[in-house]
Amino acid sequence: MKILFIIILSTLISFSGIYILRERIFKVNEKAPDNKMIANENNFYKLSANDIDGNKIDFSQFKGKKLLIVNVASKCGYTSQYKDLQELHKKYNDKVTILAFPSNNFGFQEPGSNDQIEEFCETNYGIEFQLFEKSDVRGKNINSVYRWLSSINDNGWNDKSPRWNFFKYLVDETGSLKAVYSSNVNPMDNEIIDFVIN
């Protein structure tokens, strides 16, 4: 009986640890504080990044547009969100622009080249929204877009870099970061749709 109790207790402790870890990794859903002046927001439009074909995209072209920025990977448990991102694009492309950044930062779940990533997205999900070159979205080689998204000094309030693939950032028409959502928030969830249509 004592051994059974120890086994049950150990199992409960293990699951508690997994739950706490899951909460720390996946439960980051924050919105910009209403009463805080957002500093340097217009610096967003000075950013640029290369698209999946290597062409430079100046972010000044996104002035006046709402943006959903997401780091993506083709071998992740959340990869099926590509379908939902495409659905969001098709349904609301006049209201929001999706910018997807392939990254191999989490579990080596994006091992492919830019050509392989592009083919995967087109073949499996019919992706029509903007894909960028594979790059780092955290760490010492973080790309300039994700540096802005995860630096309080740049965006005015957020210091959260992605904790996993399909982490989402919402930027409004003025270049202000408005919200950060964890991987488990689906692109078609109410929080994101509310941002898009309001």
The residues annotated as belonging to the active site are 76
- 177 touches 30 (CB < 8 A): no
- The residues facing 100 across adjacent strands are 70, 131
Phi, psi of 36 (to 5 degrees): -105, 135
Burial letters for 143-159: b for 16+ Cβ neighbours within 10 Å, e otherwise? bebbbbbbeeebbbbbe
113-119 — which CB contacts under 8 Å span 24+ positions? 114/52, 114/53, 114/54, 117/52, 117/74, 118/52, 118/53
